[in-house]
Amino acid sequence: MTSPNPHLVIRSITPQISTLSVPFLRFNRIKFGGRATLLQLSSGSLAVFSPIPLTADVRAHINSLGGRVGYIIAPDMEHHMQLGAYKSAFPSALVIGPHGLREKRARQGDQDVPIDFEYARGNKELKLPEELAREVDVEYWDGHASKEIVLLHKPSRTLVQADLFFNLPAREQYSRSGEDASKGWPTRIAQHFMNTTPGHKGQQRFIWYALAKDKASFAASARKVAAWDFDRIIP
């Protein structure tokens, strides 16, 4: 655990959901921003989706919610860098992630973190612990390049996702940094393909032609999630 992050933005979305947002550069050039989503289950257990660095203020926020982290979710092949720190801090927590992530971490020399619930192409309907399963639905997008795990928090009708799609510029993540979230030519190019402006087709085309590696499977996942009952999306 490190010192507090002066750029951290904590936001309460619902009584059960909070987000923790920080600056983050993709490829050390593109202002993507980083965000963890915390779900507090009715049992009191916490699920940490896409963990950000476990700084002192992040730990304090977790403690303010009871401190009982039951689940650490690496939602794809990219959002896993903090798994080791969280598993060390909360050793009884169960880890959820996509097939191939543990092997990728081994190749990179990262701390070995066993994945208790591993989503795979032939194993998309995992039986999760009841306290989690009764409050979330899960779809594993094995057709996505990053192997996305997407959650529906049913009590609040909230869709929680990581890299399924983006909403740049990352204004909230950079709001306390003193930096313009839109500045820099790599960021401006990324924004063309990663924004949710109505009528703008850049992201739609980028997802379909660049990220949808198995289009039939991707489309099946899209149909399933489109049928879910949600009115809020946390990227």
Beta strands 94-98 and 69-73 are: parallel
pLDDT digits (tens, 9 = 90+) for 107-141: 999 999 999 999 999 999 999 999 999 999 999 99
How sure is the predictor about 24, in pLDDT bands with cuts at 50, 70 and 90? very high
- For residue 168, tell me if it sits in a domain: yes
User: In this structure, what CATH number is given to the domain that contains residue 19?
Assistant: 3.60.15.10
- For residue 23, tell me if it sits in a domain: yes
Q: Which helix (H) or strand (E) holds 218?
A: helix 215-226
- For residue 181, tell me if it sits in a domain: yes
What is the number of structural domains in the chain? 1
Enclosing domain of residue 88:
9-234
CA–CA separation, 72 and 81 (whole Å): 12
Q: What is the mean pLDDT of the chain?
A: 96
pLDDT digits (tens, 9 = 90+) for 192-233: 999 999 988 999 999 999 999 999 999 999 999 999 999 999
- For residue 4, tell me if it sits in a domain: no
What local confidence, expressed as pLDDT, does residue 113 receive?
97
- pLDDT higher than 80, residue 235: yes
Going by the DSSP 8-state scheme, the letter that residue 212 receives in this structure is B
- For residue 108, tell me if it sits in a domain: yes
- For residue 21, tell me if it sits in a domain: yes
Dmax (CA) of the chain: 47
φ, ψ of residue 80 in degrees (nearest 5):
-135, 0
Burial track 91-126 (b if 16+ CB lie within 10 A, e otherwise):
eebbbbbbbebbeebeeeeeeebebebbbeeeebee
What local confidence, expressed as pLDDT, does residue 1 receive?
64
pLDDT digits (tens, 9 = 90+) for 51-67: 999 999 999 999 999 99
- For residue 2, tell me if it sits in a domain: no
- For residue 83, tell me if it sits in a domain: yes
